[in-house]
Structure 1
Amino acid sequence: MKEWLAEYGMFLAQVVTLALIVAVLIALIGKARGREDHSRLRIEELNKRLRGRQRRLRLSGMDRKHRKMALKRFKKEDKNEVRTSPDSEDEHQKQTVWVLDFKGDIKASATPQFSEEISALLGVVSESDEVVLRLESPGGLVHAYGLAAAQLDRLREANVTTTVCVDKVAASGGYLMACCADRIRAAPFAVLGSIGVVAQLPNIHRLLKKNDIDVELLTAGRYKRTLTVLGENTEEGREKFLDDLENTHELFKHYVGERRPQLDIEAVATGEIWYGSEAVKNGLIDEVGTSEAYLLERMTQARVMTVALEKKRGLAERMGLAASMGVEHGLQRVYEALEAGGWQRR
């Protein structure tokens, strides 16, 4: 019995040792991979995707004999295209339309990825090319959307022709981004504008005072803190807070006015929103139409390529991200509901 226990103990020690070695190796490999770039650039030519779908639809209505003939014809067309494309392209066929997507939340969280996508394009885009941004955002934090808009300004400074397509909403910070483009196209009922600044915060000072709870707020600098959630707010603090909002609003108006000089900025910078069919009349956008229709039109003249940088995440990161996104999604819905409250007209 003692010999069996000794052998079992030795076996158990070997298993534990082996498990520890494997765990250390996995940790080292994971750490090494953590230093690598786990992003992947996904590129797709929409012309080919559309042609493939249209071919499938045609084939679906044919009998076996005609389907076989059509497949041969399609293969011949593809071979001729490959054979002739390098040397016989005209100026229109050489042009490329690069398509990016930006779906904004309160913090404009997609900005880092968007910035990298633009950096990649700036190294390959030619003078005849165009960059189309499919934009959707109800706005959010001023500094976050200021940075996102600055990414589009990089294309502007490089003299790259840019078009922003808005199918649903580009309001407030979303419009701050949209106005950086050479041309803005929006669907008939897309929401645009909301050129204004808003801030709100609760104050529970009276509740705390009622329960004999004191809050000490110590600052160095007269306006280090203007309004607070816990402390007693002063009239001076409120006036300073409003001055800051007005200053931000003036910067917002100046930014839009520089990029769309045809706008009567004082008339549209009231915080109001307009739908696409209305926005074209006051100059907020240039034309009414959907992004799908625009890209379909461009496919007759150029290659249309979607570009997206996809980030690969580890299991732990995915689990943590899922939890945080659940909370953030809830907050986002509350924010959007509040914002949308101003869009419902009677």
Structure 2
Amino acid sequence: MLCSDYLPFLLKVITILIAAIIFLVVMNILKKKKENNGLIIKNLAEKFYKIKLKMAKNVFEKKKFKELADSIKFKIKNIDKNAPKTFVLNFNGNIKATAVDSLKREITAILSVASKDDKVFLILESPGGTIIGYGLASAELSRIRSAGIELIISVDKVAASGGYMMACIANKIIAAPSAIIGSIGVIAQTPNFNRFLNEKGVDFEQITSGKYKRTVTMFGKNTDEDRQKLKSELDEMHEVFKDMIKFHRPIVDIEKVATGEYWLAIKAKELMLVDELITSQDYLMKLYDNGEVVYSVQQKGKKTNVIKKFSNVCDVLMERLQNFSIN
């Protein structure tokens, strides 16, 4: 894109963002009365048995089906709700980790009834994002560990950057062999329009109190001192990220993996970033087959798919203009 095209491009992006914000505000107002901020709690083991029964009815001959049906009905009838439980959560992360709002409510609900014999199984998908969002999400997961409850995190597709910051909190990390793991680093990036503005005779004024209130900017002239200050801040955040991994996974050679690279889980296991190669559904099916009690816990009132998609577009546009995230 030519330099002369940047300002019109920026104005278009700002217009789109304003329209997106207005759209989201209106949609939230319209939905407010209909939202129910309670929890959806399902017995997944019972649900699995019923699906198995339906399949068997269609594929087995009558005698074999009857034997299996009697066995399944017995299991459903004799589910011991006093036995240790596994609570299943889902976290689908975007740039801002907005799913943390639901996650904290789900964790609070679980901790209100869970005992130290229970487990929490989190199915995590995230390519990472802002430090603020994923730092909070990691802190919320730490509540489970602090309560003495085992936390298992499963990655079927990706847990990179801030996603891995969350994953490293777990007692155990499992992943599908082809899942993407790692990207342990921090990045900040932004376009700079200063030369363009100077050529057009446009002055940019920025008044701050505090030497480092603002360093690298989009419109001002950036100096080597500004860049070095920002770099030192990124290095500090990177050290915090590394310290988290060292604390929760001391078996990891942190200097070897904290390069910003990512790996398929099959390689990540060799690097001790992952404990076992298995998909989330395979893990859950083992629990069902063992007759364990499994509940899913999900916050009601989450965004509709349309709003989610529109919000994600806004996130991407903002990231293009100014990115400051774990990566």
What TM-score do the two structures reach when normalised by structure 1? 0.77
The equivalent residue for 2:232 is 243
Cα offset for 1:74? 3.5
Distance 1:98 1:229 in 2: 45
In structure 2, the gaps of 5 or more residues are 1-28
Distance 2:217 2:317 in 1: 25
**Amino acid of the residue matched to residue 123 of structure 1?**
S
Selected match of 2:47 from 49, 55, 71: 49
The equivalent residue for 1:329 is 313
Partner SS state of residue 38, structure 1: coil
Selected match of 1:78 from 64, 73, 77: 73
Cα offset for 1:300? 2.6
Report the CA distance shift for 1:263/1:37 in structure 2 as closer, same or farther (over 3 A): same
The equivalent residue for 2:191 is 202
Identify the structure with the greater helix proportion. 1
The equivalent residue for 1:304 is 294
Selected match of 1:186 from 165, 171, 175: 175
What TM-score do the two structures reach when normalised by structure 2? 0.81
Q: Answer whether contact 2:160 2:184 (CA < 8 A) is retained.
A: yes
**Amino acid of the residue matched to residue 49 of structure 1?**
K
4+ runs of 1 displaced by more than 4 Å?
33-37, 69-73, 321-325, 333-336
Partner SS state of residue 299, structure 2: strand
**Amino acid of the residue matched to residue 78 of structure 1?**
K
Distance 2:221 2:196 in 1: 11
Distance 1:189 1:335 in 2: 27
How many residues of Structure 1 are paired with residues of Structure 2 in the alignment? 292
**Deviations, residues 171-203 of structure 1 (Å, cap 9, x unaligned):** 000000000000000110100111100110000
Could you say what the CA RMSD is over the residues aligned between the two structures, in angstroms?
3.0
Q: Answer whether contact 1:105 1:332 (CA < 8 A) is retained.
A: no
Cα offset for 1:114? 0.3
Q: Answer whether contact 1:38 1:312 (CA < 8 A) is retained.
A: no
Query: Which structure is higher in RCO with an 8 Å CA cutoff and minimum separation 6?
Result: 2
Distance 2:60 2:249 in 1: 52
Report the CA distance shift for 1:55/1:280 in structure 2 as closer, same or farther (over 3 A): same
Percent sequence identity over matched residues? 37
Selected match of 1:165 from 148, 154, 164: 154
**Deviations, residues 235-272 of structure 1 (Å, cap 9, x unaligned):** 11111011111111111111111111111111110101
Cα offset for 1:78? 3.0
2:110 is equivalent to residue 121 of structure 1: yes
